[in-house]
Amino acid sequence: MAFSSCADPRRSTHLPRPRAVASTASPVQVALVALLAVGVLTAAWASTADAADEGDGVEARENISYGPEREQRLDVFLPAPDDRNGAAVVLVHGGGWSTGNRWSMRPSARRLAAGGFVTVTIDYRLVGETGSPFPDAVLDVQRAVAWLADHAATYQVDPSKIGMVGSSAGGHLAAMVATLGTEGDPTAEPLATEPAGDRVGAVATWSGIFDLSALAPGNDTKAACGDDPECLTLTFPDMLSNFLGCTLDECPGRYREASPIDHVGDETAPMFIANSTEELIPLSQPDAMIGKLSAHGVTESHQFVPGKAHAAQYTDKVWSNTESFLRNQLGVAGPDLADWLVPSTLAVLFIAALMAVAVHERRRHEAATRDTTAAGMTTRT
């Protein structure tokens, strides 16, 4: 035959049958591939989680004027249109009403924007720029919130779903808007206790001051601070008098006008209050505000962080509660399903890979044991 030297495929049955374990991918290899997939997915998920820090997916529109004064400037941070949840948050920086700027709130603004909120960071008039910023600083923050409400449609925001986050002195100013709204006059007589104009839906304060009279030098600062020297130096001793333009003895009414606690009423916005247990702002401040809010039936939540960290220094520790409070009070959904589905999937893949390795090793051990036993029986025969 012409092809006698070639094996007849019909007689291929004489060849050894492939062993079941002879495979291009053993269970160990499969497990290693699964573990590699876990690593790749973890890196991808981490990259997505860090998007807020890098600004990926968040558009910044900067240096927008919200009023005629030089200091009345703001930045807007926009999630992708399909990611916006319809709510917005105005972030107010701290600095003792005399220093600081909107840039310090930029990381938090991006972080919230990555979660679907339109966010706005603002500057306002400070001590030294206008002499006495009260009530100018309060009026600026009110004006910035009103600006956002007026431009809500532009940014796909529901004007009834605007919240605020204020840090330190910014917490004080945010609390003033929580009680007064965007048009309430802080200097009105009698003291305004109901919001006027646009009412914010929720306010979170980090180390905010609520009762300026209690911290004023010459009053009960020592009692309020509990002899804490750091707390006592908070007033410099001129910080409050510089902010208000007078001492407590000279104008006690002005200290009440500038104290959020004296403007609390039944329509005050829901508040989340954070503070450290041993920081510059004594716990007597949030305790008093919480009591006043509760007395008026205003929704409140609070978190006291152990230690001396002040305001932005404990951001990560209060972030979850801050964001959850804003979401709940503004009526917007939580993070996308993928935010917890991806890490859950990674965990399942990792466990599956470990189980695959364990099962393979057990079967290999059992096969080796059977081969040893069979070899022994053959030898005896």
Rounded CA gap, 168 and 209, in Å?
7
223 or 33: whose pLDDT is higher?
Answer: 223
> 110 and 167, same structural domain?
yes
Do 355 and 254 share a structural domain? no
For residue 128, being part of any structural domain is answered with yes
* Structure confidence by residue, pLDDT tens digits, 179-192: 999 999 999 999 99
Integer Cα distance of 198 and 265 in angstroms: 16
pLDDT score at 363: 76
Q: Domain for residue 5, yes or no?
A: no
Give yes or no for residue 224 having a pLDDT over 70. Answer: no
The single residue listed with the structure tokens 């990674």 is 346
Contacts of 140 (CB under 8 A, 6+ apart): 67, 69, 71, 72, 122, 124, 125
Q: At 140, is the secondary structure helix, strand, or coil?
A: helix
Do 134 and 234 lie in a common domain? yes
Q: How confident is the model at residue 347 (pLDDT cuts 50, 70, 90)?
A: low
Out of 330, 347, 366, pick the residue that ends a domain.
330
DSSP annotation string for 68-132: SSTT-EEEEEE--GGG--S-EEEEE--STTTS--GGGGHHHHHHHHHTT-EEEEE----TTTSS-
Residue 52 has pLDDT above 70, yes or no: no
204 and 62 co-located in one domain:
yes
What is the pLDDT, as a whole number, of residue 132? 73
**Is 125 domain-assigned?**
yes
Judgement on whether residues 42 and 59 belong to the same structural domain of the protein: no
- Lowest mean pLDDT segment, chosen from 129-138, 168-177, 294-303, 352-361: 352-361
Q: What is the pLDDT of residue 306?
A: 97
**Does one domain contain both 320 and 345?**
no
pLDDT band at 342 (very low <50, low <70, confident <90, very high): low
Please tell me whether residues 77 and 175 are part of one structural domain: yes
Distances (CA, A) of 250 to 127, 160, 262: 19, 40, 19
- Please state the domain count of the chain: 2
CATH of the domain at 294: 3.40.50.1820
Confirm whether 2 is domain-assigned. Answer: no
Please indicate whether residue 377 or residue 90 has the higher confidence score (pLDDT): 90
Contacts of 275 (CB under 8 A, 6+ apart): 206, 207, 281, 283, 285, 286, 302, 303, 304, 305
The model's confidence at residue 63, banded by pLDDT at 50, 70 and 90, is very high
d(CA 72, CA 282): 31
Residue 217 has pLDDT above 60, yes or no: yes
Question: Who wins on pLDDT, 323 or 216?
Answer: 323
More confident residue, 11 or 134: 134
What is the extent of the structural domain holding 259?
55-330
Same domain (yes/no): 83, 102: yes
What's the pLDDT tens digit per position in 154-170?
Answer: 999 999 999 999 999 99
Q: What is the per-residue DSSP string for 23-52? A: -SS-HHHHHHHHHHHHHHHHHHHHHHHTHH
Least confident segment among 25-29, 148-152, 170-174, 237-241: 25-29
For residues 272 and 321, the answer to whether their CB atoms sit within 8 Å is yes
Is residue 218 predicted with pLDDT exceeding 60? no
Provide the pLDDT confidence category of residue 232 given band limits of 50, 70 and 90: low
Kind and range of the H or E run holding 304: strand 300-305
Average pLDDT, the chain: 81
Mean pLDDT of 315-333: 97
Instruction: Say whether both 191 and 141 belong to one domain.
Output: yes
Residues 6+ apart with CB under 8 A from 244: 132, 134, 212, 251, 254, 255, 258
- Rounded to an integer, the average pLDDT of 51-76 is 85
Rg (CA), the chain: 32
Cβ atoms 125, 133 nearer than 8 A: yes
Q: pLDDT class for 371, splitting at 50, 70, 90?
A: low
pLDDT computed for residue 375 by the predictor = 60
Residue 240: CB partners within 8 Å, gap ≥ 6? 212, 215, 216, 217, 248, 255
Residue 66, domain member (yes or no): yes
Higher pLDDT, 216 or 150: 150
Answer yes or no: do 33 and 95 share one domain. Answer: no
Q: Which amino acid is located at 194 in the chain?
A: E
68 and 44 within one domain: no
Which DSSP state fits 312? G
Length of the chain: 381
Q: Assess whether pLDDT exceeds 60 at residue 352.
A: yes
Over range 98-107, report the average pLDDT: 96
Segment 330-354 mean pLDDT: 65
Contact (CB, 8 A) for 112 and 123: no
233 in Cβ contact with 301 (< 8 Å): no
Residue 38 vs residues 24, 26, 238, 350: alpha-carbon distances, Å: 21, 18, 57, 7
Residue 374 lies in a domain: yes
Query: Is 78 part of a structural domain of the chain?
Result: yes
Q: Is residue 17 part of a domain?
A: no
pLDDT in tens, 111-151: 999 999 999 999 999 998 667 789 999 999 999 999 999 99
CA distances from 198 to 32, 147, 171 (A): 58, 10, 19
Task: State pLDDT tens for residues 266-298.
Answer: 999 999 999 999 988 999 999 999 999 999 999
Task: Give me 249's structure tokens.
Answer: 């003895």
Q: Write down the pTM of the prediction.
A: 0.74
pLDDT category, 51, cuts 50, 70, 90?
Answer: very low
The answer to whether residue 225 scores a pLDDT higher than 60 is: no
- 76 vs 12, residue with greater confidence: 76
| Residues 261 and 160 placed together within one structural domain of the fold | yes
